[in-house]
A = this chain, B = another copy of it.
Amino acid sequence: MYENTYYSDSVHGPYEFFDAGDFVLEEGGCIRDLKIAYAVYGNLNTAKDNAILVPTWYSGTSKVIGELFVGTGRALDPDKYCIIIANQIGNGISSSPHNTPAPFDMGKFPLIQIGDDVRAQHKLITEHFGIDQLELVISGSMGAQQTYEWAVRFPDVVKRAAAIAGYAKNSDHDVLFAQTLIDAITSDPAWNAGWYKSNEDVHNGLRLHARLFAVMGWSTEFFRQEKWRDLGFASLEDFQTDFTEAYFTPMDPNDLLCMLGKWQRGDVSRMTNGDLPEALGRIKAKVYVMPIDSDMFFVPSDCKLEQELIPNSEFHELHSIAGHLGLFGVEPEFYQAIDSHIERLLAYEP
């Protein structure tokens, strides 16, 4: 446990904490006083039937998710809905390796699965808010992994779901890619099995991780068109240093590794002894499966195969030239397209 000012209220707030108590994990560990940080936009109505849950993605917090997804007049309208954004375990705001007291800090933080996040969020939704059913669970990337987990694990609680740019069960290819991100950090000798003094000590590992993330995260076309110019960067090298590396180097290596482990092993068929059709067949929600056409992490063809296993589902491919990182919203039309799909989804009544 050390002080990392990047994970502060001033950078990522406002948010509140839900204490999930002593939380026993799928893999057998236990987090004492598990803290789930969450942000709320809008008000829960008396019937408690206007709630939307948005889990966070890899390296993201409730702040960026709120900025990208929520707005008056948009699909996720806080004047209409109570939008709860739950920070995933390990994202540096909720309980994470770097902010957990000894002896479970740093290199001893227990192994987490996406199922743990979703069970903790379920406690937040039912025990703290007293909500029986969510109008919608929606998010992208690791947020989509949590969305699928929600729909399979708690089919009666999820009325609608939108999984953007993510898999219900991670692909072998993405397992290998996630492993390279893990290796990039852990191969830095300064990582020292998780026992460094500061994230800054591990900056070489974080930089290599960042550069790998950029290669698979954006698209060939993004670089060919030099779209980084639109984002205000002077050259490719400037972009790689002042955006790619600058984005990840303030973060905590163990926190990233905690999330990477969940991302890599994300698989709803863990609930059905490896039977993916059975797991996805359990879903009662109306589901929109929304991959990004140029995504190299979670490719549309694999998303389509999953969508075909979900009873009441539709496939809506999103266009972006920015690859997976189209999720960053570098093209205004991208979230406009999401909004127009989600408005239709929210208008759907089972």
Residues of A within 8 A of B (CB): 171-177, 179-180, 183-184, 187-189, 204-205, 208, 211-212, 214-216, 218-224, 226, 236, 240, 296, 299, 301-302
Contact = CB atoms under 8 A, between A and B. Distances in A.
B220 A299 contact: yes
17 contacts: A171-B223, A172-B223, A172-B236, A173-B215, A173-B220, A173-B223, A174-B220, A176-B236, A176-B240, A177-B215, A180-B208, A183-B211, A212-B212, A215-B216, A220-B296, A220-B299, A224-B302
A226 B240 CA distance: 34
A241 to B, nearest CB: 12
B172 A215 contact: no
A222 B218 CA distance: 21
Nearest to A214: B176
Contact of A226 (B172, B177, B218, B226): B172
Contact of A183 (B208, B219, B302): B208
Given A173-B224, A224-B302, 18 more contacts: A171-B220, A172-B226, A173-B219, A173-B220, A173-B223, A174-B220, A176-B211, A176-B223, A180-B211, A183-B208, A187-B188, A187-B204, A187-B205, A215-B216, A216-B216, A220-B299, A220-B302, A296-B296
B301 A220 contact: yes
Contacts of A222: 173
Name, among A177, A212, A222, A226, the residue most crowded by chain B CB atoms within 10 Å (CB to CB): A212
Name, among A174, A177, A222, A240, the residue most crowded by chain B CB atoms within 10 Å (CB to CB): A177
Contacts of A183: 208, 211
Given A220-B302, A301-B220, A187 B208 contact: yes
A166 B220 CA distance: 14
A79 to B, nearest CB: 41
Contacts of A208: 180, 183-184, 187
Contacts of A215: 173, 176-177, 180, 216
Nearest to A179: B211
Contacts of A299: 220
Contacts of A302: 220, 224
Contacts of A189: 189
A313 B187 CA distance: 46
Given A188-B187, A216-B216, A301 B176 contact: no
A205 B189 CA distance: 12
A172 B219 CA distance: 10
Which 6 pairs across A and B sit closest by C-beta, in order of nearness?
A172-B223, A173-B223, A173-B220, A220-B299, A177-B215, A176-B215
A165 B183 CA distance: 28
A219 B187 CA distance: 25
Name, among A215, A221, A299, the residue most crowded by chain B CB atoms within 10 Å (CB to CB): A215
Name, among A172, A214, A299, the residue most crowded by chain B CB atoms within 10 Å (CB to CB): A172
A2 to B, nearest CB: 24
A206 to B, nearest CB: 12
A74 B180 CA distance: 40
A303 to B, nearest CB: 11
A211 to B, nearest CB: 6
